[in-house]
């Protein structure tokens, strides 16, 4: 197999919970050697975040920790702290999401790490940055509230709600991985490492795209519209006989196709619906007329028929249905890491020049203590290939 993009890159992963481990899992998927440093006894907090449980851990932990080695280090102990500093000296990348400034007591803050290893890409993930928000705890749910995401999520007549997954943590993890890639490229050019900083609040604000642009353009904050789009219609869920169908009509020509497919040819010529602006203005009447027809047949039937004429649409699936649909498209969304671990979602990036890294099971707590500590003690020793054996050391 050809070399993977991050073959040879060593990542010291001092992060836990979601954003940091998600970022380092992406790096592992791209070929990096990721050494996950965990507290003796408990390990990463998410090891106890169940149900549901797998054979050896929580499914939450296993969702973001495949392809890594686990080593237990107690940073309050001299010997373990020395091992951690040796890991920093040998690493290309360090990822941490400790409380801002707290790693200084162990000599693992950016300044100390940079002195040990000037080529190190030191990556800090926080909730609200390192300035006035440094003392604030960063939880995805709270950031969704403070960052405005909840204000535009949900039905207008009901209370604001969070997105159904910790999306801010995931976005921040992706931003961290992107920042690390850019810093590695910069190091290739200059030979110098640097401090990469990301935080949940900024990652959320940076992801709000057209909604944030609307505020900055008009001075008026967008509000909740449920499944509707503020600028396009129909671009929403429509009720069919048995389920809801998401329909996205991006221009007037598409609306004509939709009208014809539903036997409502005259709608496309009606001045109230002929242009997108008019459809937005007369949305309630438009939806009523469309649903009057859609309600006569199941959503799956309408999906097949409308997709057949080029209309972007889809039945609202649960997660099981989503996986089955992706499989029907040949996307191969799942991968088996072996070792008795639960199935994993495949890395979504494909490359023409090489395959993907072998997916190995998320590690047991301390599974790689012996091999990692032996490697740290002997500069001549090589880390053995990671496997899915799941045997604690």
Active-site amino acid positions? 169
Residue 26: closest CA among 65, 62, 71:
65
Give CA–CA dist 356/334, Å, rounded: 13
Strands of the 244-248 sheet, one edge to the other: 235-239, 244-248, 312-315
Give CA–CA dist 381/214, Å, rounded: 57
Do you find a cis peptide bond into 234, omega within 30 degrees of 0?
Answer: yes
Give CA–CA dist 307/377, Å, rounded: 61
Give CA–CA dist 27/9, Å, rounded: 9
Which residues on adjacent β-strands are paired with residue 37?
A: 71
Give CA–CA dist 320/322, Å, rounded: 5
Residues 6+ apart with CB under 8 A from 249: 232, 233, 234, 235, 255, 258, 311, 312
Structure tokens, 339:
């070792």
User: Is 125 within 8 Å of 201 (Cβ atoms)?
Assistant: no
Helices (H), the chain: 19-29, 59-62, 78-90, 110-116, 140-146, 167-190, 200-207, 209-218, 252-261, 276-281, 283-294, 299-308, 319-328, 369-377
CB atoms within 10 A of CB 219: 7
Give CA–CA dist 226/142, Å, rounded: 20
User: Is 261 within 8 Å of 251 (Cβ atoms)?
Assistant: no
Question: Measured on CA atoms in the order 169, 171, 174, 175, is the torsion positive or negative?
Answer: negative
Which residues on adjacent β-strands are paired with residue 146?
A: none
């Amino acid at each position: 197999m050809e070399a993977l993009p991050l073959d040879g890159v060593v990542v010291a992963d001092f992060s836990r919970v979601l954003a940091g481990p998600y970022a380092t899992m992406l790096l592992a998927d791209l070929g990096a050697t990721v050494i996950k440093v965990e507290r003796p006894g408990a390990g990463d907090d998410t090891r106890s975040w169940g149900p549901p449980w797998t054979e050896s851990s929580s499914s939450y932990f296993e969702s973001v920790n495949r392809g890594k080695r686990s080593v237990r280090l107690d940073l309050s102990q001299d010997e373990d702290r020395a091992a951690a500093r040796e890991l920093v000296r040998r690493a290309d990348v360090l990822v941490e999401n400790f409380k801002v400034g707290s790693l200084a007591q162990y000599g693992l803050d950016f300044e100390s790490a940079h002195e040990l290893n000037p080529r190190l890409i030191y990556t800090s993930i926080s909730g609200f940055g390192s300035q006035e928000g440094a003392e604030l705890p960063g939880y995805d749910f709270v950031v969704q509230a403070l960052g405005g995401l909840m204000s535009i999520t949900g039905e207008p007549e009901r209370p604001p709600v969070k997105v159904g997954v910790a999306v801010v943590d995931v976005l921040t993890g992706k931003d961290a991985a992107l920042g690390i890639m850019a810093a590695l490229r910069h190091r290739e050019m200059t030979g110098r490492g640097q401090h990469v900083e990301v935080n949940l609040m900024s990652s959320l604000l940076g992801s709000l795209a057209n909604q944030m642009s609307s505020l900055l353009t008009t001075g008026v904050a967008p509000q909740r519209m449920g499944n509707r789009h503020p600028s396009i219609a129909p671009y929403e869920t429509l009720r069919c006989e048995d389920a809801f169908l998401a329909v996205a009509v991006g221009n007037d020509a598409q609306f004509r196709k939709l009208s014809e497919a539903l036997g409502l040819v005259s709608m496309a010529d009606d001045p109230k619906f002929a242009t997108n602006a008019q459809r937005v203005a007369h949305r309630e009447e438009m939806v009523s007329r469309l649903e009057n027809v859609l309600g006569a047949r199941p959503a799956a039937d309408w999906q097949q028929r409308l997709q057949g004429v080029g209309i972007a649409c889809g039945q609202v699936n649960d997660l099981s249905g989503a996986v089955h649909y992706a499989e029907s498209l040949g996307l191969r969304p799942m991968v088996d890491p072996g070792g008795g671990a639960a199935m994993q979602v495949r890395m979504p990036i494909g490359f023409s020049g090489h395959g993907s890294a072998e997916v190995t099971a998320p590690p047991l707590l301390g599974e790689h203590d012996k091999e990692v500590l032996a490697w740290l003690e002997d500069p001549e020793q090589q880390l053995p290939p990671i496997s899915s054996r799941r045997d604690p050391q």
